[in-house]
Structure 1
Amino acid sequence: MTKKAQNNKEQRELILQGSLPEVRKIDGEPTKIVGYAVRWDQLSRPIFGMFQEKFQRGAFAASLVSPDVYASWQHDAREILGRTPNTLLVAEDDIGLRYEITPPNWAEKYVESIERGDVRGSSFIFRAVKEEWDESNPDMAVRTISEAQLFEVSPVTTPAYPQSSVGIRSAQEVYDNRPQLEPDNKGTGDNQEEEQRQADVKLDFEMRLRKLNL
């Protein structure tokens, strides 16, 4: 099932082998923070138990023609590490969506945190433009994003999806807005099972929200 996505920004954080941010120092050149925000066709962890997600190669190609993307520290807009096109390079390669930040001198303490391995995650903020849903596995739907707009990349400490009420509501909205299959009279029992599963998931979301709001 393919559809145009909603216009909401989404945030993802990940830690994958070969995707960790690293510091590169070459004599005579500025220090660089290099990493991957996305690896093509690699499934995310289950997002709040609702669905998994992956990006197709070329998903960001259109938005990188004339990008306005910035890099921040821990998604703090007061701590801007770089911005396209001068101090941030964002490009697609065979592996995924690669970023290369030329941080300012005041960010040396952050560079050291990455060198020490204290900061191990990469995060990005995007807006899905085109997506496809595969619900052949009744226990875990898979969302494939074929086109997306990139807004921000960020080295982060926490290698997981944002555990906040905003993050949960965003994930629930994405799932609720997915295209639905038309009901089939032959599969009444299956439909009832799916309705019950979605009701259980909704209850789980509500419980998570209550805990976060305590």
Structure 2
Amino acid sequence: MEKKTKEQRELILQESKLEVRKVEGEPTKIIGYAVRWDQLSHPIYGMFQERFKRGAFAASLINPDVYAAWQHDAREILGRTPGTLLVAEDDIGLRYEITPPSWAEKYVETIERGDVRGSSFIFRAVSGGEEWDEETNPDMPIRTIKEAELFEVSPVTTPAYPQSSVGIRSAEETFQSRPTTETTKDDEEEQRAIANDLEMRLRKLNL
């Protein structure tokens, strides 16, 4: 089975903002939440909403290889597991703690000032690790992630989903590959209905 595409999400809420922790005699820490459990996202490109169940990353965090980068720039690595990045699930969500290098002090200052307050993460849903609810709101299906692989957590400035062709294509693939509750249509009609639905949603998004 073909592997699912990696997806990028961003979170910015008052109660989820980044924190810089400085304790005398200890290294500076950047602390934040990439995910908050059972919290519905804003509509993703007008196609669907999404939430994560507690434990979604548990398997991925057994022997993690996750890195933190400034604004998703792989040339500016702030930390990596194990060692300079700690990622763990708690009662609230997926929490991360970065021990940044000394050259990143200018970035730490922007977080302290409140200029940078968002968290972004890159993940891939495990096959069979997601559920779709199209009955609660037929116009806006809800995707629930129960199991996913984690690749990156990063402090970011912009709180929106990445407005790029790659980001939109990823959302399209996710939306199109969702299971359908229709059982009376043949495959060709079903695919046509999904394509028409997607085209209508993208049209609304571009208005």
> What's the TM-score, normalizing by structure 2?
0.89
> What's the TM-score, normalizing by structure 1?
0.87
> Retained in 2: the 8 A contact 1:6–1:128?
no
User: What percent identity do the matched residue pairs reach?
Assistant: 73
CA distance in 2, matches of 1:60, 1:67: 10
Query: How much has 1:202 moved relative to structure 2?
Result: 1.4
> Is 1:107 aligned to residue 104 of structure 2?
yes
Q: 1:114 and 1:199, CA in 2 relative to 1: closer, same or farther beyond 3 A?
A: same
1:78 to 71, 75, 79: 75
Query: Which residue does 1:30 correspond to in 2?
Result: 27
Name the SS of the counterpart of 1:85 in structure 2. coil
CA distance in 2, matches of 1:5, 1:39: 29
Question: Aligned letter for 1:43?
Answer: L
Query: How much has 1:155 moved relative to structure 2?
Result: 0.2
Query: Which residue does 2:124 correspond to in 1?
Result: 127
Aligned length: 200
Structure 2 residue runs of 5 or longer lacking an equivalent are none
Structural RMSD (CA)? 2.4
> Retained in 2: the 8 A contact 1:5–1:128?
no
> Retained in 1: the 8 A contact 2:172–2:198?
no
Name the SS of the counterpart of 2:166 in structure 1. helix
Query: How much has 1:205 moved relative to structure 2?
Result: 2.7
Aligned positions of 1:132-143 closer than 5 A: 132-136=131-135, 137-143=137-143
Name the SS of the counterpart of 1:100 in structure 2. strand
Q: Which runs of 4+ in 1 moved over 3 A?
A: 206-209
Q: 1:208 and 1:182, CA in 2 relative to 1: closer, same or farther beyond 3 A?
A: closer
Name the SS of the counterpart of 1:114 in structure 2. helix
Query: How much has 1:20 moved relative to structure 2?
Result: 1.2
Deviations 1:69-102 (A, max 9, x none): 0000000000000000110000000000000000
Name the SS of the counterpart of 2:147 in structure 1. strand
> Is 1:69 aligned to residue 66 of structure 2?
yes
Write 1 or 2 for the structure with the bigger share of strand.
1
Question: Aligned letter for 1:147?
Answer: E
CA distance in 2, matches of 1:169, 1:154: 22
Aligned positions of 1:40-51 closer than 5 A: 40-51=37-48
Query: Which residue does 1:170 correspond to in 2?
Result: 170
